[in-house]
A and B are shown apart, each in its own frame.
Chain A
Amino acid sequence: MRIEDHPILTYPRRRLVTFTFDGQEMTGYEGEPIAAALHDAGVRVLRESPKLHRPRGFYCAIGNCSSCLMRVDGKPNVRVCVEELKEGMTVETQKGKGDLLAEL
């Protein structure tokens, strides 16, 4: 959910763009972190841990902790808390360790 009436802040928002999360169409504001758009849409689980397959979300939201790694446009291990949302992105839950070589 978005905050619309804040006592101190106003939010400069760019245009709404469409992207997909695990095949499902969603919208978010261009340039905001992918994680922000997903959170607004109610998505909390961003990846599955490699060994125990436990659900994981973001933790630090500023690109430090690597809890939020997802597959974006086929590329694994993208920190979605700092990756900017663009029109038409394909965002997918990451399962296990991403393999960069598998993409080549």
Chain B
Amino acid sequence: MLSYEIAVIGGGPAGLCAAISAAAAGASVALIEKDRHLGGQLVKQTHMFFGSKAQFASTRGIDIADILSRQCEELKNITVLLGATVLGYYDDQVLTIEQDNKVQRVKADCLVVATGASEKVLPFPNNDLPGIYGAGAVQTLMNVYGVKPADRVLMVGAGNIGLIVSYQLLQAHVKVAGIIEAAKHIGGYLVHASKIRRAGVPIMTGYTIKKAYGERKVEGAIVWQLDDRWQPIPGTELDIPVDAVCLAVGLTPMGELLWQAGCQMIYVPQLGGHVPFRKATLETTVPGIYVAGDVAGVEEASSAMVEGRLAGLAAARRLGYHNADWENKYQDALQQLMALRSGPVGEKICSGLKCVVV
């Protein structure tokens, strides 16, 4: 059985940064990723990031994935396991992992769980038709694999993902019939919304999808308007012929491993679903199990990276890796998180965190 001081589960922005900061502090780290490459969902983010320089502002997500992967390779005390899916965690601190159709066991003194989030679905008739896709799914298809996802798309949801993916669809020569948003206001950054509107794509707020239609795949969607009490208004239906409907209606944390490990969980809508209670160090109620990134609360990649740094540092310290530099790095990460969450968008996150930080 292989043995490491820290096992980081998930090689996305949070997991990469956790592995790098823990290894730089001196710990031996296994970075376990189910995909065949590192980077998580950064590998499809063609847009430039916001935030500050410490979180790679003005750099495209795809390039951040490369930078972090290289930093990981340079640290000799990180072992990267690719194509490796964690199946379970046991009381004697053993993880079972499936890799290349074989099950193996890995022992780790500490865990950093950075498993991310999955796309939510919206209930409406025919939402199971082929052609109803998660917005992230079309992003993967076009940006990672270079396959045109559809000819004409209806985007549901005007948060940042809906806006950014709509723009990226245009870049891939896909027509975007429109973006509908149930709320009265656009949820995402206006800089993204303006870009989309300049390109001639209508953003219809106060609209939701009534149903999709099509024989064996999507041929169109009926949308209708909502009143002030979120009730649909009969007679306002519009028929939008499209061959794909993208749902950008939010993400929910993938906390299965945390449940199984016995971490105390709570449902917090502001954080996207069930999330673990945690200390400021990101340690859960199970000593030695830390969380970082979307699994701790759906936010964005910039804060996921900083949370990863924080959790990696805290796990390393628990194992006795502590020097003069440690405190500076830890305080710096805390400061960065505060700055990232200081704007109006951060208010929702902060109100959610109040329910879970113990």
Instruction: Pick the contact of B145: A8, A33, A57 (CB < 8 A).
Output: A33
**Contacts A45-B130, A57-B131, A65-B118 known; A36 to B34 CB distance under 8 Å?**
no
Q: How far is the CB of A57 from chain B (nearest CB, A)?
A: 3
Q: How far is the CB of A85 from chain B (nearest CB, A)?
A: 10
Q: Once the chains bind, are A36 and B133 in contact (CB under 8 Å)? A: no
Q: How far is the CB of B269 from chain A (nearest CB, A)?
A: 21
Q: Is B225 an interface residue (CB 8 A)?
A: no
**Contacts A44-B216, A60-B137, A82-B35 known; A3 to B147 CB distance under 8 Å?**
yes
Instruction: Pick the contact of A62: B62, B136, B147 (CB < 8 A).
Output: B136
Interface residues in A4-19 by Cβ distance below 8 A to B read 6-9, 11, 13
CA–CA, A39 to B104, complex, Å? 34
Q: Once the chains bind, are B216 and A45 in contact (CB under 8 Å)? A: yes
Q: Is A55 an interface residue (CB 8 A)?
A: yes
Nearest B residue to A58 by beta-carbon distance? Answer: B137
CA–CA, A56 to B149, complex, Å? 16
Q: Once the chains bind, are B134 and A59 in contact (CB under 8 Å)? A: yes
Q: Once the chains bind, are B134 and A60 in contact (CB under 8 Å)? A: yes
Nearest B residue to A54 by beta-carbon distance? Answer: B128
Q: Which secondary structure dominates chain A's binding surface?
A: loop
- Which of the four size classes fits the interface of chain B? 35 or more
CA–CA, A65 to B132, complex, Å? 13
Q: Once the chains bind, are A62 and B140 in contact (CB under 8 Å)? A: yes
Q: Once the chains bind, are B130 and A61 in contact (CB under 8 Å)? A: no
**Contacts A3-B172, A6-B172, A44-B216 known; A60 to B118 CB distance under 8 Å?**
yes
CA–CA, A63 to B254, complex, Å? 12
- Determine the chain B residues whose CB is within 8 A of the CB of A55 once the complex forms: 129-130, 216-217
Residues of A participating in the B interface, judged by any CB pair closer than 8 Å: 1-3, 6-9, 11, 13, 32-33, 36, 39-40, 44-46, 49, 54-65, 67, 81-82, 84
Residues of B participating in the A interface, judged by any CB pair closer than 8 Å: 34-36, 41, 46, 60, 62, 118-119, 121, 128-134, 136-138, 140-143, 145-149, 171-173, 216-217, 254
8 closest cross-chain pairs (CB), A and B: A57-B130, A61-B137, A11-B146, A44-B130, A36-B145, A1-B148, A44-B217, A64-B118
Can you report 23 A-B residue pairs in the complex whose CB atoms are below 8 A from each other?
A: A8-B171, A9-B146, A11-B146, A13-B146, A39-B147, A39-B149, A40-B147, A44-B130, A44-B216, A44-B217, A57-B132, A58-B130, A58-B133, A58-B137, A59-B119, A59-B121, A59-B132, A60-B134, A62-B41, A62-B140, A63-B35, A64-B118, A65-B118
